[in-house]
Structure formats: C-alpha cells, structure tokens
C-alpha cells in the first residue's frame, strides 16, 4: 500500500496562510530540535526520518510556485508533477544552518542519493564511517577527570592516490554524472549508474599502495579529555576522528568503562560509604573518621544512632558532569553486632539486656505494638 504523507503545514505546525518568514522560523526551531548531529546515538535514526520530513515540507512551502501547486492539488497532484529531486532543487537551507551553527552537509548524507546538492556530477563517494572504542578508567580518574591516550585503528585516505584508488576515467555510461535519468510523464527518475556505482568515473589502473580502495589502514594515538564526574556507559564524541571518506571523516565515539571502588559507590553526583560502629559507639555516641576522595573528614555520631542512619557531608561528592555542581558524601552507619562471643561476654550481654529492658529499644517496642494490632485483625 502507498504511504500516506502528512500535510506539509501540519508537519511544520503553521497555518495555511503562514508567511514565508513564519515558515522559515518554524523550520528553524524544528531543525534545531531534530538535526541528527544534535541528538544521542540511540535516537539518531528517528531524528533523521523526522529531519527529512520537515526539510521536505520547508522546501515546498518556502517556494511560492511549489506551494501554489501543493495548495491547489494536494499531495496526490503535487507528487505527479515533482520528483524528490525537483522538490529540493533551489531550496535555500544555507542561511538557516549558518545561524543554527550545525552542519548543512547532513543534506548530502540524507538525500545525496538523489543528486540534489552540488548538481555537477563527478565522483560522489560518501562520508567516512563512525568508529567506537572503549576507554577503561579507575574510579578516581572518572571522579577527578583526566586526559588519556587511546590507540585507534582506522582507514585514512591513501597518500599516494589521494583517495582516488588509482588512475580514473570518466564513466562512458553516465558521462560522469553518476546517475542515469529517465523521464516518465511529469516525473524524472534518477537511478545510480550501474557501471560506476554513482562515482562518475571508473578505475583504469589501481594504486599500488591501497590496491584501488583509496584508503589504507593505520593506527593513530588520540588524546581524550575526560571531564570530572563521568560514569560507566557514557560516550564521548571526537568529531572527525573516525574513518576517512571522500566527503569527510566520520566521528569516534569513546565509551567509558569505570571500575568499581572498594569503599565508595556513587548515587548520581553523591558518594555513599558504609561505616561500621560498635554497639557501644552507637549507644553512647562517638566521632569517627571517614574517607573521602581527598583525605579524611570527621563525622559526629550522636548517642542512640540506629543502623542504617545516613549522615551527609556537604561538597565531598562528585562533580556533576552536566553542570559542574558538586555532590555530597553520604555516610551510612552500620551498627555491628559482636560475633565469637565468649562465655563471660555472653553473661555480660544477658545482664545488659535485663538492665536496659524494653524501654531502651523504642524502635523494637513500636514494631511489637504494630504487630499486635495487625494480629488482632
């Protein structure tokens, strides 16, 4: 079944009487939101499809002639008169992307197969592939930030043939256009040339260094600046450090793998540490020294502190990687019950239980009271 297209005005969120300036402003906002270079990798495919949709709507509605045909005939009549190539031909995106500060080259990545941009034929090629690698970090390195070196194997343009693959000649089938066009009524169908694969030229003699591929494999050492406060699973993007292609390099994504710590665990920007205290310390109160990532601090434990109570030490946690604010150190008290009790110690504990009685244990007394009420139901 044919795919039903959404209304162009609905896509941009403008009225049918909107001015060109209103259409441009609406497109700017949506382009900024859905530009594939500005979204996370897991949402990139969805953003690309949305970006194609809003760009097509803008290309039509920003052109008075195309808009008039669309208003008169709708999608059905419009699509009979204009091919995808015709829709985008002459559309002005450059000023929008200069203002937005994002790459306009995304149009060639998304629509380049139709020959919409550049228009001069010749060898097309593609943007280089993105690469990914892992970077192990200790807990302290992730907390404080660090610059580390990664070794990345990648393919770069061959220095001997400059990425051409060898000596090339204009394709005799498409005459260097990279495409074969056929007219069918009002429609113009452009297909990739089967002989040159859309490159516009064919290889006469292969380069001895790259054997006609146009790229060679090398290893590069790259410096990766890790900001403070990162955690496992986060990815850093090094723009232009991926593989080489005839239309630019891909990107390198560095996934961070942070090891665990024997004392601390993180809760967002906060650090949690469990500190054991004895029964006597918890009952009578004490002052203990607890570790931080930068030395030790003293924490007062008031009399009667129960196991699981958390004390907060301000500003001794981690930097928030997004806004730089520093979290806290969370000290959780763990009251330790004696083990390997000797006979004399056992007698002492039994006597202590009789001396204190139930009044010394309000939490237990409250629990017993609630349990009795529950059993009466």
Which pLDDT value is given to residue 188?
57
Buried b (16+ CB within 10 A) or exposed e, 125-139: bebbebbebebebeb
Which pLDDT value is given to residue 191?
75
Domain boundaries for CATH 2.10.230.10 within the chain: 131-258
Domain boundaries for CATH 1.10.287.110 within the chain: 8-114
CATH number of 8-114: 1.10.287.110
C-alpha 170/C-alpha 174 separation (Å) is 9
Q: Which CATH superfamily is domain 264-375 in?
A: Urease metallochaperone UreE, N-terminal domain (2.60.260.20)
CATH class of 131-258: mainly beta
Tens-digit pLDDT profile for the chain (377 aa)?
345 678 999 999 999 999 988 999 999 889 888 877 666 767 778 888 888 899 889 989 988 888 988 888 788 777 767 777 678 766 766 556 544 444 444 554 555 444 444 333 444 456 788 899 999 999 999 999 999 999 999 988 888 888 788 888 888 888 888 878 766 544 556 677 878 877 788 888 889 888 888 888 999 999 999 999 999 999 999 988 988 876 778 889 999 999 999 999 999 999 999 999 999 999 999 999 999 999 999 999 999 999 999 999 999 999 988 888 999 999 999 999 999 999 999 999 889 888 888 778 888 888 888 888 888 87
Which pLDDT value is given to residue 103?
44
The model's pLDDT over 145-169, given as tens digits with 9 standing for 90+, comes to 999 999 999 988 888 888 788 888 8
Q: What is the dihedral of CA 163, 169, 173, 174, to 10 degrees?
A: 60
Tell me the Cα Rg of the chain: 34
How far is the first Cα of the chain from the last one, in angstroms, to the nearest whole number? 64
Which pLDDT value is given to residue 39?
67
Domain boundaries for CATH 2.60.260.20 within the chain: 264-375
């Amino acid at each position: 079944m044919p795919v039903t297209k959404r209304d162009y005005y609905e896509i941009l969120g403008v009225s049918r009487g909107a001015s060109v300036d209103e259409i441009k402003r609406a497109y700017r906002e949506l382009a900024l939101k859905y530009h594939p270079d500005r979204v996370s990798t897991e949402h990139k495919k969805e953003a690309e499809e949305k970006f194609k949709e809003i760009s097509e709507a803008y290309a039509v509605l920003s052109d008075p002639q195309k808009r008039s045909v669309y208003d008169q005939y709708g999608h059905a009549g419009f699509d009979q008169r204009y091919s995808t190539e015709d829709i985008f031909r002459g559309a002005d995106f450059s000023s929008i992307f200069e203002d937005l500060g994002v790459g306009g080259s995304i149009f060639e990545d998304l629509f380049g197969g139709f020959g919409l941009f550049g228009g001069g034929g010749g060898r097309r090629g593609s943007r280089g592939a993105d690469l990914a690698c892992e970077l192990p970090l200790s807990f302290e390195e992730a907390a404080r930030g660090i610059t580390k070196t990664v070794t990345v194997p990648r393919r770069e343009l061959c220095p001997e043939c400059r990425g051409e693959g060898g000596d090339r000649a204009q394709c005799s089938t498409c005459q260097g256009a990279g495409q074969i066009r056929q007219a069918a009524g009002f429609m113009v169908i452009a297909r990739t040339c089967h002989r040159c694969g859309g490159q516009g030229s064919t290889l006469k003699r292969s380069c001895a260094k790259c054997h006609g591929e146009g790229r060679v494999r090398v290893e590069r050492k790259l410096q990766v600046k890790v900001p403070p406060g990162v955690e496992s699973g986060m990815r850093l993007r090094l723009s232009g450090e991926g593989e080489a292609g005839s239309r630019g390099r891909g990107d390198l994504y560095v996934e961070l793998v942070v090891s665990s710590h024997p004392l601390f665990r993180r809760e967002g920007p906060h650090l949690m540490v469990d500190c054991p205290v004895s029964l006597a310390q918890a009952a009578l109160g004490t002052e203990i020294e607890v570790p931080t990532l930068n030395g030790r601090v003293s924490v007062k434990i008031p009399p009667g502190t129960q196991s699981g109570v958390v004390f907060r030490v301000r500003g001794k946690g981690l930097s928030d990687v997004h806004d730089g604010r520093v979290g806290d150190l969370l000290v959780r008290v763990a009251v330790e019950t004696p083990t390997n009790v000797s006979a004399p110690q056992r007698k002492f504990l039994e006597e202590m239980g009789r001396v204190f009685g139930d009044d010394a244990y309000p939490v237990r007394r409250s629990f017993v009271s609630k349990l009795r009420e529950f059993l009466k139901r």
